[in-house]
Amino acid sequence: MLKKWVFVVILVVSSFVIYPPATAESPGEITYIAIGDSLTAGLGSSEENYLRIHGFVPQFTKYLRQENNVTVENYGIPGLSSTGLLALLTADEALQNRLKTAGVISVSIGGNDFLQTIRSVPESEEESALNIRMDILKRTYQETYKLLRELNPDATIILLGLYNPYPKNHEWTDLGTKYAPLFNGFIEEFGDEPKTLVIDPYEAFEGNELEWTHISEDDIHPNDKGYTEIVSLMKNAYEKSLE
């Protein structure tokens, strides 16, 4: 059933893609696979010819293509939670086989765990519900990372943290201010693992919520400026990893 609701956006320079068997990357050739939620899908970015080319995946792909031949596969699913991502990776053998070929893997997950919680409980229960959800998120995230490494020990894995989309005086500002740094602090631990980069956009977005997101329209997703900032952080981390 999971496969039926996965949508795949594949952006390539050539007019078609031939998927090779699972083999190691050749020099100068990179398969970039992006998995995760609506940020991976690029929601909130502007579209050209029905493609969200200003999302972080297309922008980061453009950067990688400056010095490499890159094939990119985007498995972004709006609304996906951490448990949903783990279930998908566990059940989808075709996706597992694709991940084995990747030179770069990016992961954006966790925001919907937060949103689903605060939207489903009374305000008086938000704090305790978020603490419980955070414990679940930590366990599923650890299992997800472990699975990715079992599938591909050599890929560079880029883990995206959370920003707080809520400006001052928003009803959920305080919750976002607490939850995002808590989550980012947790995934920062994975930065000690080989070939693992952790991207923390929290400080960059702080004070720029209205300019870099669609929150004024009650939409938490980044706009083109917000996605460009995320890509800038990704590029900086990736370049440092190559030094």
Contact between 104 and 158 (Cβ < 8 Å):
yes
Distance (Å, rounded) from C-alpha 147 to C-alpha 124? 36
pLDDT tens, position by position, 215-232 = 999 999 999 999 999 999
Is pLDDT larger for residue 123 or for residue 227? 227
Average pLDDT over residues 185-190: 97
Percent of the chain residues topping a pLDDT of 70: 88
Mean pLDDT (the chain) is: 89
Give the homologous superfamily in CATH for domain 26-241.
SGNH hydrolase (3.40.50.1110)
Residue 166 has pLDDT above 50, yes or no: yes
Least confident stretch, 97-101, 127-131, 145-149: 127-131
Taking CB atoms within 8 Å and a gap of at least 24, the contacts of 52-56 are: 53/11, 54/224, 54/227, 54/228, 55/227, 56/106, 56/160, 56/227, 56/230, 56/231, 56/234
Over 90: is that where the pLDDT of 237 sits?
yes
List the domain boundaries for the chain.
26-241
Residue 25 has pLDDT above 60, yes or no: no
pLDDT band at 23 (very low <50, low <70, confident <90, very high): very low
Question: What's this model's pTM, rounded to 2 decimal places?
Answer: 0.87
Q: Summarize the confidence of residues 234-239 as an average pLDDT.
A: 98
pLDDT band with cut points at 50, 70 and 90 for residue 20:
very low
